[in-house]
Amino acid sequence: MKNILVPTDFSDNCNKAAELGIKMAKLYDAEIHFFHLMQTPVDWVKLDKQKEKRYPETLKQIGTAKSKLRALEKMAEKENLKCLTFLEYHVDRKNILRHSGHFKHDFIITGSSGTKGIVRELLGSDVEQLVRKSNVPVIVVKEDEVTFPFKDIVFVSDFIEDVSEAFKEVLSIAEKCRGKIHLLRINTESDNNSIALGLKPITNFLEKFPDLQDYSMNVYNEMNVETGINTYLKNNEANLIAMCTHGSTGFLGLFSKSIAEGVTNHSSLPVMTFRI
């Protein structure tokens, strides 16, 4: 991890994402970029200084955004990190991915607000567009306070489709944080196997990682994946949830037969996703 992007709207959760980004950049000795998109009433980049004065409220908002970006930059500089800030106009979330691709970021960390749970909150939102279309891992920071380094990372999958590349990213973070990985498979109503049979795909998957030592294997029988995650979190410690998504089907599309409910507030932890 050499280059981290933190898109921000300066909300509380985005500020927590910025703090996490700085901590992760320090751990990895990485560069960090803060990026803010702003809606303007006209194509701002084409205005000269004289015409900008016709929009005093926009000028004020731009000044505020620059000040907040500078504050984030100072936070990074205090940790002796290389930091760049970017302010772009016109709120088009594709701009974030174009920007990320241009600078070859290998990680994105951002915040998402609301209290409706992971899936319900992200569906149809700007953050979900990042999750669906980003070619690099995305961490979404939610309501819960972020505990870092991540000591307990829950990796959720059916472990049937090959998720090895995503797991390598999780493994890298766990090693840096000296954390434990908890592999979690949810047997849904339409896939209601015994616990022993449910463990078999995980055991087969782990054959690809013979050196992995600090881990646990967990299987829950629930009607849907979201309920299974919640049940696990009620009984186990976790600092980060990690899972894969297909770009075409969206969040949890890899292994959820259908998404009937959003993840409840019990799982308002940071969520890391990988598009495969």
23 & 79 share domain:
yes
104 & 194 share domain:
no
30 & 157 share domain:
no
147 & 101 share domain:
no
Asked if the structure places residue 39 within a domain, the reply is: yes
Of 64, 92, 111, which residue constitutes the final position of a domain?
Answer: 111
Average pLDDT value for residue range 10-25: 94
Both tokens of 54, joined, read: 């016709």
- Residue 23 belongs to domain with CATH number: 3.40.50.620
Residue that wins the pLDDT comparison between 108 and 92: 108
What is the SS3 assignment for 138? strand
Asked if the structure places residue 136 within a domain, the reply is: no
Hey, which residues does 140 pair with through a beta bridge?
110, 271
78 & 167 share domain:
no
pLDDT reading at 123 higher than 50: no
**Per mean pLDDT, which range of 60-69, 214-223, 233-242, 259-268 is the poorest?**
259-268
168 & 242 share domain:
yes
Asked if the structure places residue 135 within a domain, the reply is: no
Q: What is the pLDDT of residues 163-192, one digit of tens each?
A: 999 999 999 999 999 999 999 998 876 656
pLDDT for position 255: 46
What domain count does the chain have? Answer: 2
pLDDT for position 253: 53
Q: What is the value of pTM for the model shown?
A: 0.85
239 & 148 share domain:
yes
Cβ atoms of 237 and 180 within 8 Å: the answer is no
Q: Which of 228, 223, 100 is nearest to 154 (CA)?
A: 228
Of 111, 126, 158, which residue constitutes the final position of a domain?
Answer: 111
pLDDT reading at 91 higher than 60: no
Q: Using pLDDT thresholds of 50, 70 and 90, give the confidence band for residue 204.
A: very high
Q: What is the pLDDT of residues 27-40, one digit of tens each?
A: 999 999 999 988 88
Of 92, 111, 130, which residue constitutes the final position of a domain?
Answer: 111
H/E segment holding residue 225: helix 225-235
What is the Cα–Cα distance from 23 to 5, expressed in whole angstroms? Answer: 13
148 & 257 share domain:
yes
Cβ atoms of 33 and 103 within 8 Å: the answer is yes
Percent with pLDDT over 70 in the chain:
83
148 & 234 share domain:
yes
103 & 186 share domain:
no
Q: What domain range is 157 assigned to?
A: 143-276
156 & 69 share domain:
no
168 & 90 share domain:
no
